[in-house]
Amino acid sequence: MRTQVGIIGAGPAGLTLSLLLRRLGIESILIENRSRQYVEARIRAGVLEHWAAALYDELGVGARMRKEGLVHEGIEIGINGERRRIDFKSLVNKDIIVYGQHEVVKDLIQAQLAQGAPIEFEVSDTSVHGLDSDKPTIRFKKNEESHEIACDFIAGCDGFHGICRPSIPAGVLTEYERIYPFGWLGILSESTPPSHELIYSHHERGFALYSMRSPTITRAYLQCDPAEDASRWSDEEIWAELKRRLGPDGDKILKTGRVFEKGVTAMRSFVTEPMQYGRLFLAGDAAHIVPPTGAKGMNLATADVLFLSRALEAFYKKGSKEEIEGYTKRCLSRIWKAQRFSYFMTTMLHLDPTASDFDRKRQIAELDYYTSSEAAARSLAENYVGLPI
């Protein structure tokens, strides 16, 4: 097989890149080691920044998102039971859309297949070769048969545990990481969310987040130890704690329901530099991880591949290598700003078990400032809805 861009990984990054390239008249082949059913059912984050939602409209995959997605014009931040609203619309005149990542993936795959774009699921033994040459290759097996794709470029969109980043020679990459001393105990339940917008709640017992997947499906999280065993928490204990951390009216506004998913998520930040080696370019979780507090993961992946598509367009249509060579620099400028915001939201809202009494008092002051100062609230809103791209 021969193509211009070989794409590894059928998550939001790889699928979006394929459609972006197809719109530009650039050929690609996408391969994925999981089944279509698996990737379409894989539950991940569900917040689309303002510009990202507009991009999916441009790509012709936004119809269901606009119909079923939940438009949010703000968020609420709780400070020991007192909730204050950050009004995105009045502060920056933008909004976000709550729409599950797996739903985005479904829309992107459907568009891929409708347009006849090449995509292979359930491949195995994937490897990349000749990365420092002008003709890199991807090798894989499908139904026990060996295949090879000759490419001009390879896009590694295969996630943190994929094969692309480890295929870069030792000594090339520098990795930056922060592990947080807490995690999230998360549930999905058949119940009405307590608000039509997200509630981020700082509480003396720990952080809690009240979100949703639909008007009838609640997604909620409790700060916990990252080594916590979710099975040790009964549904009744989880609901009681969620009500406490919501505030005095928690028992009144938080409706309970059947919990059909429960798990613990560790919190970490990770960035690798550079995001390219030879003709291989990393995008999405293959290059960076953010804690979910800032709702940046899927949006950063989409930004990466938008920058990569622009660089490839300049290469094929203008013969320019400048944007290709500057891919890492351009991506990292946005990534580190998102890491800063995610760190800010995470540390402002969670209880650090190592914090002193001074730290706790300062934390309350920071929460008070960002929810009472218009200038500070505008900064928070600008970052949450997505910086200009």
Going by pLDDT thresholds of 50, 70 and 90, the confidence category of residue 166 is very high
Residue with tokens 């438009």: 71
DSSP notation for 200-224: EEE-TT--EEEEEEETTEEEEEEEE
8 Å CB contact between 296 and 334: no
Going by pLDDT thresholds of 50, 70 and 90, the confidence category of residue 39 is very high
pLDDT higher for 307 or 214?
307
Going by pLDDT thresholds of 50, 70 and 90, the confidence category of residue 82 is very high
Q: Which of 47, 75, 71 is nearest to 380 (CA)?
A: 75
For residue 365, is it left (φ>0), alpha (ψ between -120 and 50) or beta? Answer: alpha
Is the pTM higher than 0.75? yes
Going by pLDDT thresholds of 50, 70 and 90, the confidence category of residue 358 is very high
Sheet with 47-48, strands from edge to edge, namely 47-48, 96-98, 70-72
In the predicted model, is pLDDT for residue 44 greater than 80?
Answer: no
Question: What is the overall mean pLDDT for the chain?
Answer: 96
Residue with tokens 């870069």: 168
Q: Give the pLDDT of residue 42.
A: 82
Return the active site residues. 72, 200, 292, 296, 384
What is the mean predicted confidence (pLDDT) over 352-378?
97
Helix (H, G, I), strand (E, B) or coil at 243: helix
Helix (H, G, I), strand (E, B) or coil at 85: strand
Q: What does the pLDDT look like over 104-137, one tens digit per residue?
A: 999 999 999 999 889 999 999 999 999 999 999 9
Helix (H, G, I), strand (E, B) or coil at 234: coil
Structural domains in the chain, CATH included, are: 5-69+98-176+268-345 (3.50.50.60), 180-267+353-385 (3.30.9.10)
Q: Give the pLDDT of residue 43.
A: 74
Side-chain half-sphere CA neighbours of 20 within 13 A: 24
**Interatomic CA distance for residues 30 and 20, integer angstroms:** 13
Amino acid at 68: E
What is the mean predicted confidence (pLDDT) over 177-187?
96
What number of other Cβ atoms are within 10 A of residue 23's Cβ?
A: 14
Token pair, residue 149, equals 């794709």
What is the mean predicted confidence (pLDDT) over 317-333?
97
In the predicted model, is pLDDT for residue 264 greater than 80?
Answer: yes
According to DSSP H, which parts of the chain are helical?
A: 12-23, 36-41, 50-58, 63-68, 88-92, 101-114, 235-246, 250-253, 297-318, 322-325, 327-349, 357-372, 374-385
Q: Give the pLDDT of residue 314.
A: 98
What is the mean predicted confidence (pLDDT) over 59-68?
96
Q: Which of 325, 76, 21 is nearest to 200 (CA)?
A: 76
Among residues of the chain, what percentage have pLDDT more than 70? Answer: 100
